[in-house]
Amino acid sequence: MSSLEDAISILGCFSLAEPSLSQAELARRTDCPKATASRVMKVLRENGILDFDPVTRLYTPGVRLFELGQICRSNHNFLDLVNTELQEVCAIGGHTAYVTVFDGYQLVVLRMVRGSSPLAITSTPGYRAWPHATSNGRAMLALLNEEEWKLRVPDRLPFVTTQAPQNHAELLDRIRIIHETGRSHSTNDSYDGVSSEGMAFRDPGTGEVIGVAISYPTVMGTPELQDKITRLLANMKTNLLRHK
């Protein structure tokens, strides 16, 4: 394993039930050579990721992890606001919504709010998708600067469907439309028969890009429905950004 993988394995050994562990126990649980474990834990300790008690000879999660946890907590508090706003959007709009964030080159669904329509497009939390093939993903990409773009868009776009952008030029054309119109729409880009309206914004507290999509069967996608959902999402975004 790499040093990063060793570090992740070591940190994964701690829990509320076992907040303190010895170096020997950590090496045993991760099946890591003692010399390697010692070197990795030294780096973690020097960077505040782990604390070491010289009396008990035990390691515990450090203050830096606490700080990162506070960032995560702040983010989820904001996600609670997003979820509350989406419940009203879905009640009025009638269709199912998803909240997504970036995970490497992909999106991952964090929250799902069902609408009242019996024809629901369902993707459970944890579901992953390619940003270039979704309305919310393209809206999220539209917010990125050049450095962020490199981290979120592979050199070669994976094939999803014939309707989705096939290369960077086609993707940039879609993003240009988002900048010009303020709307991000998808028709059969991810799946045949599925359309969606998407938007994106940054968490005021962390700066993380968050995407929202309202999905519905393509056969139901009248201009009136599309306009209605777009207005609801725009109002939602305005309400959320008041929390800056």
Rounded Cα distance, 88 and 184, in Å: 20
DSSP codes joined into one string, 95-148:
SEEEEEEEETTEEEEEEEE--S-SS-----TT-EE-GGGSHHHHHHHTT--HHH
Reply yes or no on whether the pLDDT at 174 is more than 90.
yes
**Residue for token pair 């009640």:** 91
**What pLDDT, on the 0 to 100 scale, is given for residue 206?**
81
**What pLDDT, on the 0 to 100 scale, is given for residue 158?**
96
Percent of the chain residues past pLDDT 70, beyond the cut: 93
Compute CA distances 217 → 80, 82, 96, 196, 226, whole Å.
27, 24, 11, 8, 12
Rounded Cα distance, 51 and 160, in Å: 46
Domain ranges of the chain: 3-61, 69-241
Contact 210, 202 (CB under 8 A): yes
According to DSSP, residue 155 is labeled S
69-241: CATH number: 3.30.450.40
Q: What is the pLDDT of residues 7-59, one digit of tens each?
A: 889 998 988 788 999 999 999 999 988 888 899 999 999 998 999 999 999 99
**What pLDDT, on the 0 to 100 scale, is given for residue 79?**
84
Side chain identity at residue 184, one-letter code: S
> What's 3-61's CATH class?
mainly alpha
Reply yes or no on whether the pLDDT at 105 is more than 70.
yes
Q: What is the pLDDT of residues 197-233, one digit of tens each?
A: 999 999 887 889 999 999 999 999 899 999 999 999 9
- What pTM, to 2 d.p., does this model score? 0.69
Rounded Cα distance, 49 and 45, in Å: 6
Compute CA distances 2 → 27, 78, 190, 235, whole Å.
15, 34, 35, 46
Q: What is the pLDDT of residues 128-170, one digit of tens each?
A: 999 999 999 999 999 999 889 989 999 999 999 999 999 999 9
Beta-bridge partners for 108: 101, 128
Average pLDDT (63-88) is 78
